Amino acid sequence: MADTTSITAGAIPDAGQESHGAWGFTRAQIVALGVLVVFLAVSPFVLYPVFLMKLLCFALFACAFNLLIGYVGLLSFGHAAYFGMGGYLAGHAAKVWGLTPELSIIVGAITAGLLGAVAGWIAIRRQGIYFAMITLALAQMVYFFCVQAPFTGGEDGIQAIPRGNLFGAVPLDRDMSMYWVVATIFLGCFLLVHRIIHSPYGMVLKSIRENEPRATSLGYRTDDYKLMAFVLSATLAGVAGATKSIVFGIATLTDVHWSMSGEVVLMTLVGGLGTVFGPVVGAAVIVTMQNYLAEMGAWVTVIQGVIFVACVLAFRRGLVGEIGNLLKVKL
């Protein structure tokens, strides 16, 4: 098999040409990670923990989506299917099967991963807009399944999902206790995504994004790599959805609706496509705006549209991407 480094040499610019240390972190990324960890540790004593948990769930969802579009170049309009189904199965497992929260989240993640494997196997045979439309069509099929399936509760969804006890011993009824679990899940998955994109496998994904025919000519089975990335992205989206359903005690059609796929696209683009910390910042901007501008009703959607247009016109790399370009570092 061809040398992975030779594939990406000259194809993927490295802003500032910074050296990578442990786990592929540059010096700038280590500083940014430190800021993130400090924020996770301090914020629940300053801000409302439930708001923070919602932010972290969507940040993880955006990171999962960015893994696919930012590093493989595949635009999915159907990621709400994996986010929502992860939430439904986790909620069903916790409420009906009586599983502990960590097992319920695992059930949601596995469900999303299996669904992603089927959808990915079908979708990766096409590229560009055709790939996006196939993922949207498959997600709509999942949505109508959720409308009709008995276990989802239809329009009412699954309500009164218990948080339960972590490992059967630690009660999660208090918001602060639940927050530390959510923060741990987010940070673990965030580090996993970072490790994936800076591994030899991640370098192949970047080469496929930059020049798929060249990667194929060097002996790589690109469809297999893309399918694996799709499954990983769907699984992480399922973790985000499952965690959200446990936190809020409800799983509804909103999470599996196509508009949720649009929101995660917006979060990723606002933060910075193909950046490590961009999706986190983008999710923070969108979720904060939805929370504190909720009194404005439908105008929140208008404001989101204005921000999206402004980012596309003035900040094409996204907020984090523009900051990294200004400082000549990779974030």
Residues 90-115: tens digit of each pLDDT: 999 999 998 999 999 999 999 999 99
Q: What are the backbone angles phi and psi of residue 274, rounded to the nearest 5°?
A: 75, 15
Residues sharing a CB contact under 8 Å with residue 15, sequence separation 6 or more, in sequence order: 324, 325, 328, 329, 330
Decide which of 37 and 306 is more confident.
Answer: 37
Given a cut of 90, is residue 233 above it in pLDDT?
yes
Dihedral, CA atoms, 149, 137, 56, 231, nearest 10 degrees?
A: 90
Mean pLDDT of 187-202: 92
What is the model's pTM? 0.89
Decide which of 297 and 301 is more confident.
Answer: 301
Residue 320's pLDDT is 87
Task: Write the pLDDT tens digit of every residue in 79-88.
Answer: 999 999 999 9
Mean pLDDT of 242-246: 95
Q: How is residue 310 written in tokens?
A: 């402004």
